Amino acid sequence: MNLSTAILSGPGAAQRRAMAKAITLLESTRADHRAQGDALLTELLPHTGHAFRLGISGVPGVGKSTFIEALGLHLIAQGHRVAVLAIDPSSTVSGGSILGDKTRMEHLSVHPQAYIRPSPSSGTLGGVAAKTREAMLVCEAAGHDVVIVETVGVGQSETAVAGMTDMFVLLQLPNAGDDLQAIKKGVMELADLVVINKADIDRDAATRAQAQITSALRILGQHGNPEHAHHDASHWHPQVLQLSALKGEGVDAFWQAVTRFRSLQEADGRLASRRRHQALAWMWERIESGLKQAFRQDPAVRALLPQMTNEVEQGTLAASTAARRLLDALKTNGERHA
């Protein structure tokens, strides 16, 4: 039984093993593995697109893993199958993931209706791994109808997940900062829903944070579209909720808000439009990555690179000049073989 057949065969141990092997294959940088991965995605693509993709971000210590476990168990109780793609910081020694997020989801990780895959960020900016989109498609083809992407969690730069999910949720802490912190641009203006987690620790602080962030979101407008009046019920407007993931308080209200968001986005065609734009962005991202790899592998570039690198490091050549010479070498070599 090949990987695609095993993934599409239905829930069970064989499917879980096939999913793990498929994602490992897609994460490989070997050229032959990349070709096999492309063929696999082509086979799986007709069976994807039916899940709801939820992005979760927040600073370290905000309780992302605890929240995702509480949400996952809540959804499974309602009959959903949940997949979690947890992006862990890469080890500086081995380059791999330290698997911390999966370890913290001790109940969800062993549930037969859940699938958790930690992946190393490998230095990729934006808090996600390079092959997270491909992994989402594998999970969808396997029948998981809710796919959650948990970012590394480093702060204001965690914006890439908003470009690959249907809804972007930002977790915040009570007493996380002053009024200005609430209106910092970055992840805040991309959030479709902001959640004040650990609200049970200090109810007053959580209420103050909720009021501050709600006010900030009104100022920012609907993702930079001030023409969407806040009282217009046909459009989704970012909201701020309080909950305690550890105690399971507010999880049901959170999912009700997500369900309403999905209904509104599907009704006016914004969800489908968002996915089309994301697919094109994914294509260009892969093109840029491929061009960079081809640049490094070009014989003329490889021959010139040590000299350029040394001169830039020694301060005898401007980095911009070195870059132009390397690009010229690539162009000349390409024309010679054209």
Residues in the chain: 338
Give the pLDDT confidence score for residue 267 in this predicted structure.
Answer: 92
At residue 127, the pLDDT reads: 44
Strand partners, 85: 117, 149
Q: Max Cα separation, the chain?
A: 70
CA 42, chain centre distance (Å): 22
**Cα–Cα distance between 234 and 161 in angstroms, integer?**
25
Return the pLDDT at 177: 58
Whether residue 192 contacts residue 236, with contact meaning beta carbons closer than 8 Å, is answered with yes
Q: Give residue 253's pLDDT.
A: 95
pTM recorded for the entire structure = 0.84
pLDDT at 196: 93
Low-confidence residues of the chain: pLDDT under 70 = 1, 89-103, 121-130, 153-159, 176-186, 221-232, 338
Give the rounded distance of the alpha carbon of 153 from its chain centre.
11
Q: Residue 121's pLDDT is what?
A: 61
Q: Which position has the token pair 């809540």?
A: 74
pLDDT value, residue 126: 43
pLDDT of residue 125: 46
Nearest by Cα to 114 from 149, 151, 69: 69
Say what the pLDDT of residue 92 is.
47
Among the listed residues 187, 173, 167, the one whose alpha carbon sits nearest the alpha carbon of residue 255: 167
